[in-house]
Amino acid sequence: MELTPQLLLHAYSLGIFPMSEGRDSRDLFWMDPPMRGIFPLDGFRISKSLGKAIARAEYQITLNRDFEGVVEGCAERDETWISRKIQSAYVKLHEMGHVQSLEVWRGGSLIGGIYGVSLGAAFFGESMFSRQTNASKIALAYLVTHLRNCGFTLFDTQYLTPHLASLGAIEIRRDAYQALLEQAVVQPEKFHKRAYPPSVSDVLQRNTQTSYL
C-alpha cells in the first residue's frame, strides 16, 4: 500500500497513525490504541528548573525552519519507528501545510525540536529530540503555548509515557478521545501559516504561577 498524503490525513482524522519497526523497514503498522495520551492545553507543567532554563533564553525558537532536520534528529537513535518511507510521506504532508515543526537553536546549531501533524484544531505530536539538556522540554513548552494561542483544542501524544506524564499529559479511553477528535478535525485549520512562536514571558505566564523573570 502506498503511503500517500491523502491516506495519512484520512487515517489521522479517524484517530489512526502509522509506525514502523526500524529506519530501513518497509513494513507499516496502523495503530489505534485503546488508551490515548493527550496534553490538556491548559495543564502543561513547568518545573522550577525548566522554568529557569526557559527564562535564561539561551536559545532561539523557530517554526518550520528546518522540518527535515527535526525529523532526522528524532530518527537518529538506536531504535526508531520513523522509517524512511514514513519520513518521505511526512515531508509531502509538510509541503502541503499539514505537518509542522518547532525548532530550538543555540549558537546556530539545531539542539532540539518537535514535529507533528495538524488537522483542523487537532495536533498529533509525532516525536521530539534533544541534543542538549532541556531542549526537547523547551520545545514542548513553546509548542503547547503556541497551540493554545492558535486555538487548538486537542494535542494528541499517542501514548502516555512517565516523562510526558511528569509534564502534565494524561491518558483517556478511546471513546473519549474519539469524541474530542471528531469535534477538532472539522474546525478550520488552526496552525496559521504566518504564525510566530510565543515569547518567553508568554510561555512562562501561561504555564505556571511562579515568576522566573
Predicted confidence (pLDDT) per residue in 50-107, tens digit: 999 999 999 999 999 999 999 999 888 777 778 888 888 888 999 999 999 999 999 9
Residue 149 CA to residue 172 CA, distance in Å, equals: 24
Domains of the chain, each with CATH number or no CATH: 32-79+96-207 (3.40.630.70)
Give the predicted TM-score (pTM) of the model.
0.91
Q: How far is CA 59 from CA 2, 53, 199, in A?
A: 39, 10, 12
107-125 tens-digit pLDDT: 999 999 999 999 999 999 9
Residue 112 has which C-alpha cell? 532540539
114-155 tens-digit pLDDT: 999 999 999 999 999 999 999 999 999 999 999 999 999 999
Residue 48 CA to residue 40 CA, distance in Å, equals: 20
DSSP assigned state of 149: H
Q: What is the pLDDT of residue 20?
A: 81
> Which 3-state string (H, E, C) describes 72-139?
HHHHCCCCCCCCHHHHHHHHHHHHHCCEEEEEEEECCEEEEEEEEEEECCEEEEEEEEECCCCHHHHH
